[in-house]
Amino acid sequence: MPRFKHYNYDQDAMVVINYQEQLQPGTFEHAVHYLIEHKLDLSVFHPKYRNDDTGRTAYDPAILLKIILFAYSKGITSSREIQWCCDTNIIFKALSCDTVPHFTTLAKFVSLHAEEIEELFEQVLLVCHEQGLLGNELFAIDGCKMSSNAAKEWSGNFKELGEKRDKLKRLIRHHLREHHERDEAETEAELDRDIRRAKTVLSLDESLEKVDRFLKTNSPRMGQGKRRKEVKSNITDNESAKMTTSKGTIQGYNGVATVDKKHQIIIDAQAFGEGQEHHTLQPVLETVEARFQKLGIADDIYQTGAIVTADTGFANEANMKYLHERQVNGYVPDNKFRSRDPKFAEQKDKYGKRHQNLPDKGWKDTIAASEFQFDPVKLTCICPSGQTLTYRGQREALNGKIRVHFEGRLLQCRHCPKKHKCMQNPASADHRNGSGRQVSFTIENKRLPNYTDWMKHRVDSPQGKKIYSHRMSVVEPVFGNIGSNKRLSRFSLRGKKKVQGQWQLYCLVHNIEKLANYGQLAA
């Protein structure tokens, strides 16, 4: 039988290690270390420290930045886990010079330095420019909706939150009434029941106070659409928004990134607390322009021939007008872009409809609006049963076109033999607060030039199709890297400012990786 040297993992050892030698050139940790030590000015962090004459010495922002950026590059966002890594992982030890900051120190550094992180982001972008990693030929804009540290159960408009408050009051009264009815606990089981009821009342009282304080100290949150209306507020984080994603409804933020084509460098990263992306296009473009001016890259980047692309989520009439008036060389298609392309004419027949495996949400095929007799001159509408619908006015759609709206009278729809084929919810016509069948039609009107039509012509042209085809290959790998490789699936902070700081830190990690791979950093 062969003999081998004995080994034992359950033992400690003293090892002499040079921390500088652990940061090998070509690695991410070396790039972070070199940039912070030789390229970046961290004096922007100094004003928040007040220990010049008294107080304890603080951890150097350079050390904290190295630790946090390297942790994010490995998909580690937990401050407690980062602290543990500083105590056990050799690369963390090398970057921190064998210091172990407390997890609260790490968490506060991320949440309290959003403005300083913005400045740091711009400094790294300038280094990318100096290294020749920016092409400034084509920018691709896209967003990624992610949950934040907020509960969607605490969302609602002020009416819904008021109803929630009233419900909590009724529950508290109910439990207190039961408690008074059973005032004397005679057995141990009854005593346990009373204790549980008391805890329930305390919990309900805390929730009631939370809702009541929010309603008294805040105003209804209004949307940014043309017809401004109240949107859902959130008691936990009122700057976040309830958003619909492919994975369901979330409470969080939309992380929007603008990516340069040449090496997929992120030139702008912002977090928005709204689900609709078309409100974010203008602020993103203005921020990019101002940043390039500040860094001395270009006085007006959009007049140098730079192309801007974005997906259909950013398309509406106001944005198209903005691009036209500012002479931005943009390509932002509408949601009918693919249907107009002959190359995709047989796509539906070949591959079927999108989301065909989604669960049935109860929607059914009804009588189409095309079967209604619409008179655009007299503005009248007659349903398939021969009844005249009520005129409900005109509204401008997001594409700039005017739509005329009609609604069936309750008594007409209630007794109509076709209501089960005509209405999604026929029962709504059976009570006085319901509604009849609703239809709308587009009308031709004398209006200002339709900028959506101008953009349609651009993206439908051979040149437009060629340019727009680059968008996905530019921006999607960036989100794939941050989401899959860096494992960013949710924001761990509350408040738009803090979330944006965390989002920019992740985008910093991406840009530093590009510098490590394609830049000329000294060994």
| Mean pLDDT, 10 residues at a time, the chain of 523 residues | 90 87 92 94 92 90 96 94 95 94 95 94 96 95 93 86 88 79 64 78 86 87 74 89 86 95 96 90 96 94 93 92 93 87 69 55 77 84 91 80 89 89 87 87 67 88 91 94 92 93 96 93 68
pLDDT of residue 168: 87
CA distance 269 to 118: 9
**Residue found by looking up tokens 């860096």 in the block:** 486
Using CA atoms, how far apart are residues 278 and 280, in angstroms rounded to an integer? 5
- Same domain assignment for residues 141 and 250: yes
Residue 430 is assigned to a structural domain of this protein: yes
How far apart are alpha carbons 320 and 332 in whole angstroms? 8
Report how far residue 505's alpha carbon sits from residue 33's, in angstroms, rounded to the nearest whole number. 15
- 250, 327: one domain: yes
Amino acid at 108: K
Q: Do the Cβ atoms of 298 and 334 come closer than 8 Å?
A: no
Q: Considering the entire predicted model, what is its pTM?
A: 0.80
Whether 240 contacts 253, CB under 8 Å:
yes
Length of the chain in residues, anyone?
Answer: 523
Q: Do the domain assignments include residue 519?
A: no
- For 37, list phi and psi in degrees, rounded to 5: -80, -30
Q: What is the pLDDT of residue 437?
A: 92
Q: Which residues contact 398 (CB under 8 A, 6 or more apart)?
A: 278, 316, 317
8 A C-beta contact, residue 267 and residue 293:
no
Which residues are paired to 396 by β-bridges? 402
Nearest-angstrom CA–CA distance, 34 and 522? 8
Q: Are residues 310 and 413 in the same domain?
A: no
Any domain includes 86 = yes
Distance CA 291, CA 118 (A): 11
Q: Indicate if 146 and 249 belong to the same structural domain.
A: yes
**CATH number, domain with residue 316:** 3.30.420
Q: DSSP code of 230?
A: B
Question: Has residue 235 been placed in a domain?
Answer: no
Tokens of 75: 């998909």
Collect all residues with Cβ–Cβ distance below 8 Å to 45 and sequence separation of at least 6: 61, 113, 116
> Is position 352 within any domain?
no
Domain stop point among 443, 468, 491: 443
Residue 414 — φ and ψ, nearest 5°? -65, -40
Q: Does a structural domain hold residue 194?
A: yes
Buried b (16+ CB within 10 A) or exposed e, 245-257: eeeeebbbbbbbb
Note the helical H segments in 439-495: 451-460, 462-468, 471-480
pLDDT at 398: 67
The reply to whether 13 falls in a domain is no
Q: What angle do CA 254, 518, 82 make, to 5 degrees?
A: 55
The pLDDT of residue 183 = 60
Domain that holds residue 501: 135-150+243-345+451-507
Same domain, 430 and 493: no
- Whether 67 and 95 have beta carbons less than 8 Å apart is answered as yes
Are residue 249 and residue 146 in the same domain, yes or no?
Answer: yes
- The conformation of residue 523, written as its DSSP 8-state character, comes to -
- Secondary structure string (H, E, C) spanning 383-451: CCCCCECEEEEEEECCCCCEEEEEECCHHHHHCCCCHHHHCCCHHHHHCCCCCCCEEEEEECCCCCCCH
Residue 224 in any domain: the answer is: no
Phi, then psi, of 185 in degrees rounded to 5: -90, 120
Among the candidates 395, 413, 443, a domain finishes at 443
Say whether both 461 and 433 belong to one domain.
no
**Token pair of 224, please?**
């940014």
State the Cα–Cα distance between residues 339 and 348, nearest whole angstrom: 10
Looking at the structure, do residues 427 and 410 belong to the same domain, yes or no? yes
Residue located via tokens 């296009």: 281
User: Both 249 and 308 in a single domain?
Assistant: yes
Give residue 379's pLDDT: 85
Q: What is residue 485's three-state secondary structure? A: helix
Domain end call among 389, 420, 443: 443
How many domains, the chain?
Answer: 4
Same domain, 404 and 485: no
What letter represents residue 421's amino acid? K
Compute the Cα dihedral for 471, 474, 477, 481 and give only its sign.
negative
Token pair 């711009």: residue: 122
Q: Are residues 417 and 381 in the same domain?
A: yes
- Domain match, 430 and 486 both: no
